[in-house]
């Protein structure tokens, strides 16, 4: 987030929200924390749900994703945050109230996120899908492909055991959710996007792992720009270069070179508020 904010000359304020404070149960058990959490969430220009393991705070993260989707607030879901967006969509839009990840409910009737078939079900060690894997873009005219400079594929780093259930892809896509990035088999979902939303993107990979100062990750750049209502400027002003007969735009991270001019004039860049923490949070901005 900081890399992207510096690049776009924006002041970053990160408010960490403990996801469980957003849950209905916290309204009774800890009403002050519940009110404070919702106040922060509702004041945010953008929402990021990061990666995570285990079920603590999952319901709160689902509520945050729902809030972002329904109120058209920019949302970036990373790994678990992407799976959360998919579960939320299944519950709210497909009407599958009990949709879940088998990480949180092994016997769930509508498993929209499942244990990856090649991993061992009985051993934790060595079952994680790790490291650099290829994502192939499926849709040309989508925000995620544009942010990566309309490349046909990208390599990003992974760290997960569960994935979107391939058997449910057609159902999701018929209901308006677009899987704009898949692995080379076409069976593993890497990027999910909601086309009719200002910025609603989930990545199964971790775009933050390859972000560097001066070379921010494309999806973080997109989140910051969308949170400042300047995504069109970012995507639209990137210079066009033609390669192999296809109109290509230069990408952001993994090849970004030019800054959109508009961000340079009259922009406010201060400092990040420096808040950093770990745990089961639903965050920010
Ligand atoms: N890194 C993550 O967010 C992992 C997400 C999820 N717990 C999985 O294993 O697939």
Q: Is the CB of 56 under 6 A from ligand 1?
A: no
Q: Is the CB of 161 under 6 A from ligand 1?
A: yes
Distance of CA 28 to the CA centre of its chain: 30
The string over 50-76, giving b where at least 16 C-beta atoms fall within 10 Å of a residue's C-beta and e elsewhere, is bbbeeeebbbbbbbbbbbbbeeebbbb
Q: Which residues, including other chains, have CB under 8 Å from residue 84's CB and lie 6 or more apart?
A: 49, 58, 61, 62, 65, 77, 202
152 pLDDT more than 80: yes
φ, ψ of residue 236 in degrees (nearest 5): -75, -30
Smallest CA-to-CA distance from 156 within 82, 85, 249, 238 is with: 82
Q: Which residues pair with 99 in a beta bridge?
A: 110
* CA 85 – CA 193 distance, rounded (Å): 10
Residue located nearest, by CA, to atom 4 of ligand 1: 160
Q: How far is the CA of 203 from the centre of ligand 1 (A)?
A: 11
pLDDT at 95: 98
Q: Which residues, including other chains, have CB under 8 Å from residue 276's CB and lie 6 or more apart?
A: none
pLDDT at 272: 46
DSSP state of 71: T
Over residues 45-66, mean pLDDT: 97
For the CA of 53, the nearest atom of ligand 1:
7
Q: How far is the CA of 137 from the centre of ligand 1 (A)?
A: 22
Q: Which helix (H) or strand (E) holds 262?
A: none
Confidence class for position 16, pLDDT limits 50, 70, 90: very high
274 pLDDT more than 70: no
Q: Is the CB of 103 under 6 A from ligand 1?
A: yes
* CA 156 – CA 170 distance, rounded (Å): 25
pLDDT at 278: 40
ipTM score for this prediction: 0.97
Confidence class for position 118, pLDDT limits 50, 70, 90: confident
Mean pLDDT of the chain: 86
For the CA of 54, the nearest atom of ligand 1:
7
Q: Which residues pair with 18 in a beta bridge?
A: 281
Tell me the whole-structure pTM to 2 decimals. 0.85
Q: Which residues, including other chains, have CB under 8 Å from residue 93's CB and lie 6 or more apart?
A: 175, 176, 177
Give tens-digit pLDDT for 80-92.
999 999 999 999 9
109 pLDDT more than 80: yes
* CA 114 – CA 167 distance, rounded (Å): 10
Query: Which of 48, 79, 101, 124 maximizes ligand 1 atoms within 8 Å of its Cβ, making it the mutation to test the pocket?
Result: 79
Give tens-digit pLDDT for 177-202.
999 999 999 999 999 999 999 999 99
Q: How far is the CA of 162 from the centre of ligand 1 (A)?
A: 6
| Helix pair angle (31-43, 58-70), 10° resolution | 40
Confidence class for position 79, pLDDT limits 50, 70, 90: very high
Q: Are strands 162-164 and 110-115 parallel, antiparallel or unpaired?
A: antiparallel
* CA 135 – CA 132 distance, rounded (Å): 10
For the CA of 103, the nearest atom of ligand 1:
7
Residue located via tokens 């400079």: 149
Residue located nearest, by CA, to atom 7 of ligand 1: 53
Over residues 260-273, mean pLDDT: 40
Q: How far is the CA of 78 from the centre of ligand 1 (A)?
A: 9
Instruction: Give 211 or 270, the one with higher predicted confidence.
Output: 211
Q: Following DSSP, what letter does each residue of 3-49 receive, concatenated?
A: HHHHHTT------EEEGGGGSHHHHHH-HHHHHHHHHHHHH-S-EEE
Give tens-digit pLDDT for 153-172.
999 999 999 999 999 999 99
Residue located via tokens 């909601």: 194
284 pLDDT more than 70: no
3-state secondary structure at position 114: strand
């Amino acid at each position: 987030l900081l890399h992207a904010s510096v690049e776009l000359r924006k002041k970053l304020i990160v408010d960490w929200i403990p996801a469980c404070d957003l849950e209905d149960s916290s309204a009774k058990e800890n009403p002050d924390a519940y009110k404070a959490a919702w106040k922060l969430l509702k004041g945010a220009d953008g929402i990021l749900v990061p990666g995570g393991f285990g079920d603590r705070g999952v319901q709160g993260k689902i509520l945050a994703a729902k809030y972002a989707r329904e109120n058209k607030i920019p949302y970036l879901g990373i790994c678990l945050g992407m799976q959360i967006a998919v579960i939320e969509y299944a519950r709210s839009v497909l009407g599958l109230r009990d949709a879940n990840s088998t990480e949180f409910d092994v016997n769930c009737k509508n498993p929209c996120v499942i244990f990856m078939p090649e991993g061992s079900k009985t051993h934790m060690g060595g079952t994680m899908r790790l490291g650099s894997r290829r994502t192939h873009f499926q849709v040309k005219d989508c925000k995620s492909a544009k942010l990566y400079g309309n490349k046909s594929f990208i390599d990003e780093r992974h760290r997960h055991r569960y994935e979107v259930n391939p058997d449910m892809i057609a159902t999701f896509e018929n209901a308006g959710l677009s899987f704009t990035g898949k692995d080379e088999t076409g069976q593993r979902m890497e990027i999910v996007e909601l086309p009719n939303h200002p910025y609603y993107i989930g990545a199964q990979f971790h775009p933050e792992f390859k972000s560097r100062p001066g070379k921010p990750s494309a999806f973080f750049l997109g989140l910051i720009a969308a949170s400042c209502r300047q995504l069109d400027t970012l995507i639209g002003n990137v210079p066009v270069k033609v390669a192999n007969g296809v109109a290509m735009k230069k990408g952001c991270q993994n090849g970004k070179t030019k800054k959109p001019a508009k961000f340079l004039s009259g922009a406010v860049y201060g400092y990040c508020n420096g808040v950093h923490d770990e745990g089961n949070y639903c965050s920010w901005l």
